[in-house]
């Protein structure tokens, strides 16, 4: 992380600290920390088709997370600092930082809240190339503003919200400011049925107007949430209008369906379908059932607007002593500017077997096929791994992990194959992302 990157997160952190101080001057925070190190051996660190290079990477890391849940403050903060030592000099040594923070301060309980969000992490520079140290950049999302609540009887609530935010890229000249407003009317229609109407507006101003197009976005939608002791169904539909400066305007419908079901034997199944306008960058959105939250997309092309259709399936269950997680997806992305329209189909299987309290064995397999409609390219990505963990004490754990990472492509230069061996020790658990 360079000096500019550290400066970029200074204001968000100060704002977050001020929010915490106002909401709870002497909070009884739940604080935890962890630290560890590893030695990684790879036979193709640059993930190239030719001229492959092996390397050994020494990694030291430390992390902490804070939680607080009181009537005046809801806080989640997770941070991680990593130092990478490339011992054969393939890349310069680097220091990586990750921050995930979400705080809601009740300035007037149930009447006026202030929300602060900040996310600092690394994403790819080129979305078509694999993640490597030279295809990685720092990004920071800062998003803050008030929510005012008005109650009309016990069953109806009106929320008016406003947000201002900034998105920073360390490599791409795609920094932008965002300003958004939202009105959301929610009503309890039945004991287990909730409905809402939502209207949103957002302005996006890029610092570099020559390469990126400023735009205004407007969303209107209606939704229902039906919940039972073991099931929850959410449905939302609406329309999106995008007015771009000196470019064609965009307009299409928005649909979101999600069904979550808790099954016997502590199993959980989830299925969702979404079609909407989003942005090619990992950026802020004003769409969906909670439009005033900052959302991080998977793609990293900030200058494009994408209309996506996606189906996601998730299933988790314990079979005896084996924890099983299965996931599958189908994504269809239509880009408005770049000729990168694509369809992605794939899935992942994770297995974990706790042999004893001290020993854990795990394995995973992931596959994804990507077909680009407007360019002659198809990719098949495979990821196969196995891991053995031994717990020396309640907090100290050692692990050995082997990974096979492979891409087959119709573009020869995009293919690669990498084998990795990781030996690691840690105290505690790596900080998780803040749940949103």
| Within a domain: 377 | no
| Closest to 276 in 3D by CA, of 249, 301, 251, 296 | 251
Q: Is pLDDT larger for residue 427 or for residue 281?
A: 427
pLDDT at 294: 38
Find how far residue 405's CA is from the centre of its chain: 22
Find how far residue 99's CA is from the centre of its chain: 12
Mean pLDDT of 253-258: 96
Mean pLDDT of 138-152: 92
d(CA 389, CA 128) in angstroms, rounded, equals 34
| Residue 21, pLDDT above cutoff 90 | no
| Within a domain: 281 | yes
Q: How many domains does the chain have?
A: 1
| Within a domain: 171 | yes
d(CA 257, CA 239) in angstroms, rounded, equals 15
pLDDT at 295: 40
Band of the pLDDT at 145, cuts 50, 70, 90? very high
Please state, rounded to an integer, the average pLDDT across all residues of the chain: 87
| Residue 100, pLDDT above cutoff 80 | yes
| Within a domain: 179 | yes
| Within a domain: 206 | yes
| Within a domain: 48 | no
**Choice among 15-24, 88-97, 220-229, 330-339 with the minimum mean pLDDT:** 15-24
Cα 165–203–236 angle (5° rounding)? 95
Band of the pLDDT at 38, cuts 50, 70, 90? very high
pLDDT at 46: 94
Mean pLDDT of 252-268: 92
132-141, 268-277, 294-303: which is most confident: 268-277
Beta-ladder partners of 362: 352, 387
Q: Is pLDDT larger for residue 347 or for residue 287?
A: 347
Band of the pLDDT at 58, cuts 50, 70, 90? very high
Q: Is pLDDT larger for residue 4 or for residue 139?
A: 139
Grouping H, G, I as helix, E, B as strand and the rest as coil, residue 10 is: helix
Mean pLDDT of 111-138: 87
| Within a domain: 158 | yes
Band of the pLDDT at 435, cuts 50, 70, 90? low
| Residue 8, pLDDT above cutoff 70 | no
Q: Name the residue range of residue 168's domain.
A: 152-285
| Within a domain: 7 | no
Mind listing the pLDDT tens digit for each residue in 355-397? Answer: 998 999 999 999 999 999 988 999 999 999 999 999 999 999 9
**Choice among 77-86, 119-128, 243-252, 317-326 with the minimum mean pLDDT:** 119-128
Q: Is pLDDT larger for residue 296 or for residue 154?
A: 154
| Residue 5, pLDDT above cutoff 70 | no
Tell me the C-alpha to C-alpha distance, in Å, between residue 413 and each of 34, 379, 410.
40, 12, 9
Residue 246: both structure tokens together: 């000196």
Mind listing the pLDDT tens digit for each residue in 300-330? Answer: 556 688 898 999 999 999 988 899 999 999 9
pLDDT at 273: 96
């Amino acid at each position: 992380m360079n000096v500019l990157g550290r400066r970029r997160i200074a204001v968000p952190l100060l704002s977050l600290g001020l929010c915490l101080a106002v909401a709870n001057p002497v909070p009884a925070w739940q604080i935890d920390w962890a630290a560890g190190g590893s030695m990684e051996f790879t036979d193709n660190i640059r993930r190239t088709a030719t001229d492959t290079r092996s390397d050994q990477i020494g990694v030291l890391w430390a992390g902490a997370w804070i939680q607080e849940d009181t009537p005046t403050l809801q806080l989640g903060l997770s941070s991680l600092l990593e130092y990478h030592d490339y011992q054969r000099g393939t890349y310069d040594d680097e220091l990586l930082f990750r921050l995930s923070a979400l705080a809601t301060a009740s300035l007037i309980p149930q009447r006026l809240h202030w929300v602060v969000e900040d996310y600092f992490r690394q994403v790819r520079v080129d979305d078509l190339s694999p993640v490597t140290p030279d295809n990685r950049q720092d990004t920071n999302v800062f998003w803050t503003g008030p929510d005012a609540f008005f109650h009309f009887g016990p069953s109806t609530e009106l929320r008016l919200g406003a947000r201002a935010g900034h998105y920073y890229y360390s490599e791409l000249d795609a920094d932008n400011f965002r300003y958004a407003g939202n009105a959301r009317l929610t009503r309890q229609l039945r004991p287990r049925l909730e409905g809402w109407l939502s209207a949103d507006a957002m302005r996006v101003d890029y610092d570099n107007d020559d390469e990126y197009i400023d735009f205004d976005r407007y969303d209107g939608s209606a939704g229902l949430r039906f919940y039972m002791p073991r099931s929850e169904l959410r449905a939302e539909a609406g329309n999106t209008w995008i007015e771009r400066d000196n470019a064609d305007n965009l307009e299409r419908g928005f649909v979101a369906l999600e069904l979550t079901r808790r099954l016997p034997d502590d199993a959980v199944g989830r299925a969702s379908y979404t079609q909407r306008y989003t942005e090619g960058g990992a950026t802020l959105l004003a769409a969906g059932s909670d439009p005033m939250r900052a959302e991080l997309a998977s793609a990293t092309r900030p200058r494009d607007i994408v209309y996506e259709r996606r189906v996601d399936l998730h299933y988790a269950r314990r079979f005896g002593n084996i924890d099983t997680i299965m996931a599958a997806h189908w994504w269809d992305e239509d880009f408005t500017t770049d000729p990168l329209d694509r369809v992605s189909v794939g899935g992942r299987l994770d297995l974990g077997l706790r042999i004893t309290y001290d020993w854990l064995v795990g394995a995973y397999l992931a596959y994804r096929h990507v077909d680009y409609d407007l360019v002659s390219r198809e990719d098949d990505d495979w990821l196969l791994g196995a891991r053995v963990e031994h717990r020396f004490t309640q907090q100290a754990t050692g692990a050995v992990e082997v990974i096979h990472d492979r891409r087959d492509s119709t573009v020869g230069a995009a293919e690669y194959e990498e084998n990795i061996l990781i030996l690691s020790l840690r105290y505690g658990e790596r900080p998780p992302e803040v749940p949103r």
